[in-house]
Structures are given as structure tokens and as C-alpha cells.
Structure 1
């Protein structure tokens, strides 16, 4: 560790380098290794942090990290807003820079952490897009028998809404993770954390039919049949991009807002549970949120819906 720290300190203190940001880029690579090896972040989180850090490296240029001030980093936050990033992406960039500077402190590269003073956006003000129950019904009926893989697509959409699982969790769901007789499945969330999620009759029926009539044919296209439940036309596991495109395709067919994504079904799942009287802690457990604060955003969604109902129907609204 001592040799590594010395090397990193030397990189942080170097003057102008032939390639812009070369020293900072090397430190960012070390940082991502730290997140992967010591913080055990999920691959998708590592990839997101990597994109954030590449943007940060470009902005830092040849400046020394130890010379950056809170004013400099605040200016960087202003630069982020010129990229037309979503509020969640800007908030994640702030977290990435904060965590990076904490890493630099641990390595003895900087003494102070100016990133701690960066103000974060109030994420609760950003209400997620949620489908109505009627829209969900139309959406789940969007795949037709004329579609080549409609049995798979029906089962996939049913699982997304029935469980509230993330797109990556649905793509990595394995056949052995299913316990349909007991009406639940096991999924692996962020950081490799596993949780048991209840599943309803509609999704169970769709999965059984897909497995009985289509999945075996798709799996047979591969020399070593994959374990994953949802397979592409080539027999390989369905990936997040393919899932995202299918959701967009069926949302358009159902006449639903084009901004709908796989995560919209997760939002809808949580909001509809709370509307039905579910306890916030129970919803947190089903979603796999580490903090109850993350789940609380859905109480704001539900309150906004109730406000609209009140304004529409109350005689003195």
C-alpha cells in the first residue's frame, strides 16, 4: 500500500503533462478499481461512475487536484447543467466527485475535501413518471400473437410490473431463481444483494406458458443453454438495451407517453402498492432500497395523485 500511495502522490503532484489530464485519468482508474474491489459496487454502478469521471477528467485538464477549490467544483456543477443531463444524473455526478475526493484523502493525495461542500439537488422534487392502472392494462396487452416472441414479451412485461424489479435484475433472472409454486422469485440487486420478491398469478401464468412453448426453442440455439429466464432470438440472455427497446415498442403501440421506460413500471409498481395501503417499509423491502428515503419519493407521487382527485371531485376544491 505504501508504494502505491507514493506513486499516486507523485501522479497528483506532477506539472504539465504531454497528454491533458493524464495524471488525473490514472487516479480515476485507481478510483474505479477501489470502488470495484473495496466498495463492491455493482458493475452498472461502476460503469456509471466511469462515465461521470471521464467527464470530470476532461474538465480538470492539466490542473492539480490538490489546487481545486469549492469555487472550482461549483463551477463544474454549472458546466454539468449545460450538458442537458437529467437531475438524477447531475446528482450522481456530485456523489461521484465527492467519493473521488474521499478516496484521494484516504490515499494522502489531498488534505481537504472541498467536494463535501457541494450542495446536492433535492431529488424528491423530481416526481417519477407513473402509469395509471388503466395504462398498465393496455401496456401489458400490447404484445400480440402476430409478434414473433410475444410469449416471452408478455412474460417479461408482467414480471417488470408484478415485481418492481430493475431492468438489469429482470435480465439476469435465472430459471432456478423462480419458485412459482410458492409465488415468489429471487433477484440480485445492486451490489450483489439478493432479495425475495412476491409474484402474482398473471405473471406466473405468463412465465409458465413462455417456458412451456418458447424458451426451450430459444435455448436450443446455443451450444450451452443459458440459465437466464429471458432469451433473445439468438438464444443469448436478453440484455438491458433489448429490454428497453421492447418496452418503448409496446408503449408506443399502447399509445402511452414515449418517455416511458422499464423503470416507469418499477415506479408504477411502488405507487400502486402505496395507493392500495401497503406499508412504506414493505415497499422498501420489495424494491430492494437500502434507505427508506429512496422509497419516500413514492409518497410524494401518491400525494400528487390524491391532490388531483380532490381537485376534480371535491365540490369546494
Structure 2
């Protein structure tokens, strides 16, 4: 394999064999491309000339440029995977990133909506029965009621919804599929939306397809479109603190754990490959318990 083929072949490997998402591929590409720029600045002509001392110099440069610990950890992980691929392809014998030690990632607790904030959001989507409001109602009930990712919501087809068992087939990261249950609130919201929202727009614009969520022209709603809808809901709710649509997923997990759900179940519902990804929410629930105790106990 020639040097100029290293990165394209690696990207093909991520896409075909690892089934990584477009966003993940972009992150890997940018990390490796930045490292290649650094090598050029150091007059190092090939990835195969990199050794442990070069890696340490690279980490020093990242530190001087004040990259966060999380960003550094991600770059190291990307480059370690890249060199592992080169070893597998027989163009390199040793991974210079194998024994690199770095500071642990910053522990950032997931932010979530409080009950009064969720009530304000739901008030927005239940204020009228216009077609797009009915769609926004489904979006909010769907993301909070199932904990799925925004990108997963954009992929839902009508055929994925099993009303008899109240479950939806979700296609997650790496094309992994899972069924998530849903309750009566989402069931009612979907039924009303299909009859008085989606069908109205589809017939108006003569567009017929299987996507659950549609835009105002009756085309499938994209991930970006869903985020835009959520941002507008949040703005209309007049919530004051800085918030993000992904907080609905965090709120879903936090509320389950606060109400006694076990970790394994939450892991499966969220579609986490590892339990360690779910355990971060235990820190949130512990903090919630502590705050409640300090606020309400007479001896706190």
C-alpha cells in the first residue's frame, strides 16, 4: 500500500468493516489529517517514520495549544486505531501510540431537564392541533419517552412502529438494531399526528413515503431538521439556561434511574454498547439525591 493510500483505505475500513457513522468518520479523518499537518511541519515525510519521541512532541504541541483533555484523548484514540490498521495491513510493525499515557477525560455530568422545564416544553407542543405542532408533539414525546438519539428518530419509518406491542425498531450506531417500548402518551400523539398532521401535509403536496417525521413540505425530516424543531420548542418555552436537544436523552435516562430502573435495562434502552457509558448517569442521580437531601432534611 502506497503512502497516499493510507488514509483513504483507513476511511474505507471504518465505513465498511466497522460501520461507523458519517460524523465518526469525519472526526477520525480530521484527527489524522491534523497529525499529518504536524508531521509536515516537523519535516517528517511519512507516517511510518513516527516513533514514541515524535508522539511525545505531538502531545506537547497539543498541550501548548491548550486542547482539552477530552480532545487529546480522542485524538490519541483515533491515531492508535489508525496505526493498528496499518499494522494489520502489513505496512508498519509497531504502534507508536500503544503506550501513550494521557490525563483522564474530564468528568462532565450529563445535563438534564428538571420537571418544571419538561412541563414548559410540553405546554408548547400541546397548545394547538396544527399539523406541524402535532409533529413537534411526536418529536418531544418520542425523544423523551424513548431516549433515542435525534439521528435515530430521523430514520424511523412507519413500518418500524409496532402499535400492537407498543415498540419501535430503532437503527442505532453501527447499524445495530434494537426495539424500544413506548407508552400511551406517544401512542396517542402518533395516532393524532398521522391522521391530522402527516396525512394533511402529504396529501397537500402529493408526497407519499414511509418516513414518520416530515417537514412542512411533506419531505422526510432530517436530523438537522429535528434539532431545529427542538430548538424552536425550547425557545418558545422561554427556558433561561443554556440547553441542548440531546438533554432529552439524558433526562430520559436520569428519570428512569431516579425512579428505580436498573442499570442494565437503561443501557439496553439507550443502545449503549458498554455499561460504562451508562454508568455516568449514576453520578447524576447521586447528585440529585444529595441536592434533595440538603434542601429538605432538617439536619442537612
TM-score by length of 2: 0.88
Describe how 1:1-317 pairs up with structure 2 within 5 A: 7-8=1-2, 11=3, 23=4, 26-61=5-40, 63=44, 64-77=46-59, 90-119=72-101, 122-123=104-105, 125-143=107-125, 144-145=127-128, 149-220=132-203, 225-256=208-239, 259-317=242-300
- Deviation for aligned residue 1:181: 3.0
For the Cα contact (< 8 Å) 1:151–1:210, is it kept in 2? yes
Cα pair distance change 1:188/1:80, threshold 3 Å: farther
CA distance in 2 between counterparts of 1:149 and 1:303 reads: 38
- Number of corresponding residues: 296
- Deviation for aligned residue 1:241: 1.2
* DSSP-derived class of the 2:97 partner: helix
Deviation string, structure 1 residues 47-73 (Cα, Å, up to 9, x no partner): 333343333333333622122234443
* DSSP-derived class of the 1:268 partner: helix
CA distance in 2 between counterparts of 1:314 and 1:221 reads: 58
CA distance in 2 between counterparts of 1:185 and 1:259 reads: 31
Gaps of 5+ in 2: none
- Deviation for aligned residue 1:178: 0.7
- Deviation for aligned residue 1:124: 7.1
Cα pair distance change 1:309/1:239, threshold 3 Å: same
- Deviation for aligned residue 1:190: 0.6
Deviation string, structure 1 residues 209-268 (Cα, Å, up to 9, x no partner): 110111123334666622110011222211111111221221122233564223211111
- Deviation for aligned residue 1:189: 0.4
Deviation string, structure 1 residues 108-152 (Cα, Å, up to 9, x no partner): 222221212334554571101111122112112223438761110
Cα pair distance change 1:216/1:73, threshold 3 Å: farther
Cα pair distance change 1:204/1:302, threshold 3 Å: same
Farther-moved stretch of structure 1 (102-111 vs 151-160): 102-111
Farther-moved stretch of structure 1 (286-295 vs 237-246): 237-246
Deviation string, structure 1 residues 270-290 (Cα, Å, up to 9, x no partner): 010000000000000101111
TM-score by length of 1: 0.84
Cα pair distance change 1:49/1:250, threshold 3 Å: same
CA distance in 1 between counterparts of 2:62 and 2:131 reads: 42
- Deviation for aligned residue 1:77: 4.7
Gaps of 5+ in 1: 1-6, 12-22
Farther-moved stretch of structure 1 (265-274 vs 138-147): 138-147
Cα pair distance change 1:188/1:146, threshold 3 Å: closer
CA distance in 1 between counterparts of 2:102 and 2:157 reads: 37
